[in-house]
């Protein structure tokens, strides 16, 4: 249950319980609650109903001098009363022990009977008539206690409900916030070896799950950074070691003739160039990852752009001894918002990889088609392919598969490709059958790109 739902229940409970309480107390006070319960409650009800009937029916008759107009048969049940004239003569009686036309019998009242006297003046003659009630003695104290207890129990229930709900909500929030606070402190101290468990489906549980996802992402980023540093160290160590070795050889006199000296110096120079190239490649990659490089996006005719590149790459393929074919099946003037220079660089990396690992078949193919609201660009080459284990890491920095470990590269090529394409909102994926073929597939969404170009 969400925190909002819990507070809603609490608010509804606090609102409804007092309303129900007032309705019950009102019903009790108007007589609905008197007809059931203790005998004292029923007696009190009898008094109230009789007095109400007298005020509504008997009093107007006495004040107008028309006692004979009273409908005694319609009087309330258990009505025991007598109407007296100023001299004490009984004018009318509903009590069997008191007869009409006779003086009211003073002193003959049963001890269990309660007598109440009301007086009304005849507005015509000025004479006063009296109404004497004969009712069982009612325990007004007990009845009032019952009403008092009813008025007390309802607020107690309301207080208990509000307290329990508030405690449950605050306890849940406090426990979750304490867990998040502790997790944040551990992450700040560099400790990522723990796991947050989210209980329930409320907003705080959702926040906890998001926090756990963030922890996992941070942990993965730390691991990636560690691999990054290890990769840099490994790829820079080899040329540095060779430079140092040949420099020591020269210093120790192993280059004892001009031919050896020239060869050693040539090796040192080539390894220095290799080291310089790797450092520049590393700096460029770091800038891309950190978003410090600037891409200049312009609206570009994708069909013309890809056709021009494909034609040039088919000529480049001849230098690698690879036959490259292509088909660009895209409507003319299909405009895409992109940085042509960066995209060219990324696609060249993919195509040249296809040349390099085309195997004995020495064939590669580029295909571009429109599929729904996007362009699907595929670069296919025959050859050794990529294993399933290697495909999980093919876009990671410094990763080099089995077929590329003899190259001079640092394993940043495909990582750079992924970074460039994703910065454009494109996606890149690889599909390979070992020993058969490899397909690099790039998806270029058209709606998003066209919207950008028109904005």
Place of tokens 């329930």: 200
Vertex 368 angle, CA 363 and 374, to 5°? 150
- The partner residues of 35 in beta bridges, in order of sequence, read none
Q: At 452, is the pLDDT very low, low, confident or very high (cuts 50, 70, 90)? A: very low
C-alpha to C-alpha distance for 157 and 106, rounded to whole angstroms? 51
Supply the pLDDT for residue 410: 42
Write out the two tokens for 270: 């080539």
Supply the pLDDT for residue 445: 92
On whether the pTM is more than 0.75, the answer is no
Supply the pLDDT for residue 148: 52
Q: Which residues, 6+ apart, have CB-to-CB distance to 205 below 8 Å? A: 176, 198, 199
Supply the pLDDT for residue 432: 86
1-41 pLDDT per residue, tens: 566 666 677 677 667 766 776 676 666 555 444 434 445 55
272-295 pLDDT per residue, tens: 887 776 677 666 666 666 555 556
Supply the pLDDT for residue 22: 66
Supply the pLDDT for residue 348: 85
Residue 257 predicted with pLDDT over 60: yes
Place of tokens 């050794």: 384
Q: What percentage of residues in the chain have a pLDDT greater than 90? A: 11
Compute the mean pLDDT over every residue in the chain, rounded to the nearest whole number: 76
Residue 152 is given by DSSP the state H
Residue 377 predicted with pLDDT over 90: yes
DSSP 50-112: HHHHIIIIIHHHHHHT-GGG--GGGSPTT--EEEE-TTSBEEEESSTTS-TTSB--TT---TT
Write out the two tokens for 203: 């907003």
Residue 129 predicted with pLDDT over 90: no
Q: Domain 31-138 carries which CATH code?
A: 3.30.450
Domain ranges of the chain: 31-138, 219-290, 298-454
Q: Which residues, 6+ apart, have CB-to-CB distance to 146 below 8 Å? A: 37, 38, 41
Supply the pLDDT for residue 60: 86
Please tell me the least confidently modeled range out of 60-74, 136-150, 171-185, 303-317. Answer: 136-150
Q: Is residue 136 within 8 Å of 114, Cβ to Cβ?
A: yes
Q: Which residues, 6+ apart, have CB-to-CB distance to 397 below 8 Å? A: 224, 227, 228, 231, 285, 411, 412, 415
Residue 333 predicted with pLDDT over 70: yes
Task: Collapse the DSSP code of 358 into the 3-class scheme (helix H, G, I; strand E, B; otherwise coil) and give the result.
Answer: coil
Q: How many CB atoms lie within 10 A of CB 288?
A: 19
Q: How many CB atoms lie within 10 A of CB 340?
A: 14
For residue 31, the number of C-alpha atoms closer than 13 Å in the C-beta half-sphere is 10
Average pLDDT over residues 432-446: 89
C-alpha to C-alpha distance for 44 and 138, rounded to whole angstroms? 6
C-alpha to C-alpha distance for 188 and 216, rounded to whole angstroms? 14
Average pLDDT over residues 377-398: 79
Q: At 140, is the pLDDT very low, low, confident or very high (cuts 50, 70, 90)? A: very low
Q: Residue 315, exposed/middle/buried by CB under 10 A (0-12, 13-18, 19+)?
A: exposed
Q: Which residues, 6+ apart, have CB-to-CB distance to 322 below 8 Å? A: 354, 355, 358, 362, 363, 364
Distances in Å between the Cα of 281 and the Cα atoms of 68, 236, 287, 288, 385 are 120, 12, 10, 11, 26
Distances in Å between the Cα of 417 and the Cα atoms of 104, 289, 346, 386, 420 are 117, 11, 5, 17, 5
C-alpha to C-alpha distance for 46 and 138, rounded to whole angstroms? 9
Architecture field, domain 219-290 = Orthogonal Bundle (1.10)
Q: Where are the beta strands (DSSP E) in 312-426?
A: 323-329, 335-338, 363-371, 374-382
Under CATH, to which class is 298-454 assigned? alpha beta
222-244 pLDDT per residue, tens: 776 776 666 666 667 767 887 88
171-219 pLDDT per residue, tens: 777 777 788 888 888 888 888 888 888 777 777 778 888 888 888 888 8
C-alpha to C-alpha distance for 325 and 306, rounded to whole angstroms? 13
Candidates 321, 327, 307; CA nearest to 378 is 327
Instruction: At 110, give phi and psi (nearest 5°).
Output: -65, 140
């Amino acid at each position: 249950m969400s925190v909002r739902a819990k507070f809603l229940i609490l608010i509804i409970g606090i609102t409804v319980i007092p309303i129900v309480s007032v309705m019950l107390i009102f019903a009790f006070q108007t007589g609905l609650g008197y007809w059931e319960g203790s005998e004292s409650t029923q007696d009190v009800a009898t008094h109230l109903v009789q007095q109400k009937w007298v005020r509504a029916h008997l009093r107007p008759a006495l004040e107008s001098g028309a006692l004979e107009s009273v409908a005694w048969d319609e009087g309330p049940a258990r009505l025991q009363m007598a109407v007296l004239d100023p001299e004490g003569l009984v004018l009318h009686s509903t009590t069997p022990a008191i007869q009409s036309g006779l003086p009211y019998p003073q002193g003959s009242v049963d001890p269990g009977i309660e007598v109440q006297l009301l007086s009304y003046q005849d507005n015509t003659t000025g004479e006063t008539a009296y109404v004497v009630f004969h009712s069982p003695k009612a325990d007004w104290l007990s009845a009032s206690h019952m009403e008092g207890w009813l008025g007390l129990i309802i607020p107690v229930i309301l207080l208990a409900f509000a307290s329990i709900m508030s405690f449950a909500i605050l306890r849940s929030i406090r426990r979750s916030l304490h867990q998040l606070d502790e997790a944040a402190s551990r992450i700040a101290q560099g400790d990522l070896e723990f796991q947050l468990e989210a209980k329930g489906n409320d907003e705080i549980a959702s926040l906890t799950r998001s926090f756990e996802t963030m922890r996992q992402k941070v942990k993965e980023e730390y691991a990636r950074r560690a691999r990054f540093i290890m990769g840099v160290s490994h790829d820079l160590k080899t040329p540095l070691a060779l430079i140092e070795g040949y420099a020591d050889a020269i210093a120790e006199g192993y280059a004892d003739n001009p031919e050896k000296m020239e060869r050693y110096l040539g090796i040192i120079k080539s390894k220095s160039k290799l080291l310089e190239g790797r450092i520049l490649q590393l700096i460029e990659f770091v800038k891309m990852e950190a978003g410090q490089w600037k891409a200049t996006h312009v609206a570009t005719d994708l069909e013309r752009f890809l056709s021009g590149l494909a034609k040039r790459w088919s000529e480049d393929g001849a230098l690698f001894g690879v036959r490259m074919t292509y088909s660009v099946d895209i409507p003319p003037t299909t405009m895409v918002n992109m940085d042509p220079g960066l995209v060219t660089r990324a696609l060249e990396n993919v195509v040249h990889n296809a040349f390099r690992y085309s195997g004995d078949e020495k064939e590669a193919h580029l295909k571009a088609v429109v599929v729904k609201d996007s362009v699907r660009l595929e670069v296919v080459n025959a050859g050794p392919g990529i294993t399933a284990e290697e495909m999980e890491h093919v876009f990671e920095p410094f990763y080099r598969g089995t077929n590329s470990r003899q190259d001079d590269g640092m394993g940043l090529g495909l990582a750079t490709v992924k970074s460039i394409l994703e910065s454009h909102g494109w996606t890149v994926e690889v599909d390979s059958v070992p020993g058969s073929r490899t397909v690099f597939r790039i998806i270029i969404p058209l709606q998003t790109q066209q919207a950008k170009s028109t904005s």
